[in-house]
Amino acid sequence: MIDINLIRENPEIVKENIKRKFQDKKLALVDEIIALDKTKRELQSEGDARRAKRNSLAKSVGTLMREGKKDEAEEAKRLSKENNERIAEIEAESAEIEKKLRTAMLAIPNIIAPDVPVGKDDSENVQGEVFLEAKEKPFEVPYHLDIIEKLGGIDLDAARRTSGNGFYYLIGDVARLHSAVLAYARDFMIDKGFTYCIPPFMIRSDVVSGVMSFEEMEGMMYKIEGEDLYLIGTSEHSMIGRFMGEVLNENSLPQTLTSYSPCFRKEKGAHGIEERGIYRIHQFEKQEMIVICKPEESDYWYEKLWSYTVELFVSMQIPVRQLICCSGDLADLKYKSCDIEAWSPRQKKYFEVGSCSNLTDAQARRLGIRYKNSATGKNEFVHTLNNTVVAPPRMLIAFLENHLQADGSIFIPEVLRKYMGGKTHILPKN
């Protein structure tokens, strides 16, 4: 949610930003917000005046009664009743206007960074830096599910029987590798000075609406029937929600946190759930990084965060690249974003394994997260950022393809061996 003052004073900036995001259908919302805001302020002004009048009328009724001026007292009572009825009307109208105004404000996208490339969708994202040389294998690389099955590491059939498509059982050394990568990612971020957290895996609707747009929520979140609770799609949701309504001490910033959680997603839309494979699924686990900082620090932290993911993948000898998201590919709350993509020797192209975002104060405004600015003495909104450290099983696909050997075994890089009981390879079962 953006600052209402920006819409009041510079509506053309807001409209131009909407155009850059190719959301022209929302242009009318800017004028609607201006009109609603004007009505809201007029009602507030009238209400304040009538509440002040209410006090004076109440006093005059008592004075007139004591002075024996019965007719004048009755007239003052009538005026007082009319005034009170109008105050009640104003309060009801104001509540309705406030509801409409907030709904419209939540639909306005965050102002995007000046350096975000303009494009309609993800096909117009722009390649950034490339890290490690992407090499082709001297042998044919099988589909990732075939690799895992030869390692005896997965049971999709049983998962379909127990849970349906989009779920899986990981088994043996593949399951251990999955956990090893998460443990390594956790320790990697702790070594960077981040505080490790395990958050709640369910959140209330007011947190959901604070961290994401309605469109995202509909396409992602699972609701718990009969309760005001949703399963999280990423730990960022509950991690940011932790600070809802708080005024943070300036000395406590930045908050640098890394969190583990399972993630649950509907995965509705064009992509859908894979019938065969583990690239797009309903349930997975992830290590996340979150930063809450002062506004002037968020650009610095954005660059640091995505570089940490690169460093992690490079340490596991997996080639990656940065992909800069264009305007049309940015979710409404994002100021700027980039994906980290890993090299697939089988497909001979890169695919997404993580995403880094700077949301400036968009989430903070929705959730009321501020800090006390010692220089101005005022409470100001913080900036929030998030980034994927690592998210198996997508990372597993990249790992298995890049470390597959000609004999079907999987090479284990040095950084993971202590989490794998000293193993240097995972061997095929057959």
Q: How confident is the model at residue 268 (pLDDT cuts 50, 70, 90)?
A: low
Instruction: State how beta strands 255-264 and 195-197 pair.
Output: parallel
Name the domain boundary from 76, 107, 138. Answer: 107
The residue among 78, 107, 136 that closes a domain is 107
What's the CATH code of the domain at 323? 3.30.930.10
Same domain, 281 and 137: yes
Residues 46 and 134 grouped into a single domain? no
pLDDT for 61 equals: 65
CB-CB contact of 153 with 175 (8 Å): yes
Same domain assignment for residues 232 and 142? yes
Same domain, 11 and 82: yes
Domain that holds residue 30: 4-107
Q: Are residues 14 and 57 in the same domain?
A: yes
pLDDT at position 72: 77
Instruction: Tell me the pLDDT tens digit for each residue of 363-405.
Output: 999 999 999 999 999 999 999 999 999 998 889 999 999 999 9
Pair (307, 211) in one structural domain: yes
Based on the domain organization, do 31 and 129 belong to the same domain?
A: no
Distances (CA, A) of 383 to 207, 370, 376: 16, 9, 17
User: Would residue 316 count as lying in a domain?
Assistant: yes
Supply the CATH number for residue 82's domain.
Answer: 1.10.287.40
* Judgement on whether residues 240 and 313 belong to the same structural domain of the protein: yes
Contact between 144 and 394 (Cβ < 8 Å): no
Average pLDDT of the chain? 92
pLDDT, tens digit, for every residue of 235-267? 999 999 999 999 999 999 999 999 999 999 887
Predicted TM-score (pTM) of the model is: 0.89
Q: Is residue 327 part of a domain?
A: yes
pLDDT tens-digit map of 54-68: 777 777 766 777 777
What are 138's two structure tokens?
């001297």
Give the count of domains, the chain.
2
Over the stretch 93-133, which tens digit does the pLDDT of each residue have?
Answer: 999 999 999 999 999 999 999 999 999 999 999 999 999 99
Q: Is residue 115 part of a domain?
A: no
Residue 117 resides in a domain = no
- Burial profile 194-214: b = 16 or more Cβ within 10 angstroms, e = fewer: beebebbbbbbeebbbbbbbe
Question: What is the sign of the dihedral through the CA atoms of 413, 415, 416 and 421?
Answer: positive
Together in a domain, 96 and 216 = no
Same domain for 132 and 91: no
Whether residue 189 sits in one domain with residue 42: no
Say yes or no: 227 and 348 in one domain. yes
Is 220 within the bounds of a domain? yes
Assigned domain for 112 exists:
no
